[in-house]
Amino acid sequence: MTAGDDHVAFVAAMGDILASWNLPRATGRIYGQLLLNADPVSLDALGSALGLSKGAVSTSVRELVLWGLARTIPQPGSRRLLVEAAGGFEQLLAASHERTRAFIRVLRAGTRLAEDDHAKTRLDEVAGFFESYVEAGDQMLRRRASISMSSPEPE
């Protein structure tokens, strides 16, 4: 497999992953491309690199910005924007936690509908498992934040 093939596979995999979060596959592909780019890139260049329409690129970039996964950079004297990947692990984990919290709320609501104690117990166990996952991730995020706040700024 060539480096170009690996690049295409990575971008496609990011599209598939974000699609599993109910985001458009194009949004994930754009995020994958942004993660690989060394520098900010124009929306036109993204569309050209990925074979996407201007509308698909614009919509996807807005979605990534809303999720905190990308930022736009206005160009002085122009309406054009450059875009780059923002953050990384923390934003992805936080986004995953929001989806998981929604799942937990549904599980907890289902407890009221369960037919018997066995079904209620099962729902409680599943919800508890995912609550533990979110709590562990939140602890990791807090540790990373405290480490980055205590680290000296590079000169």
Instruction: Kindly report, residue by residue over 75-102, the tens digit of the pLDDT.
Output: 888 888 999 998 766 777 887 888 899 9
What 3-state DSSP class applies to 52?
coil
Range with the poorest average pLDDT among 46-50, 111-115, 126-130, 148-152: 148-152
The count of other CB atoms within 10 Å of the CB of residue 23 is: 19
Per-residue pLDDT at 155:
53
Residue 12: pLDDT band (50, 70, 90) is very high
Query: Does position 151 have pLDDT exceeding 70, yes or no?
Result: no
pLDDT at 154: 54
Residue 98: predicted pLDDT = 85
* List of residues 6+ apart from 11 with CB closer than 8 A: 29, 32, 33, 36, 50
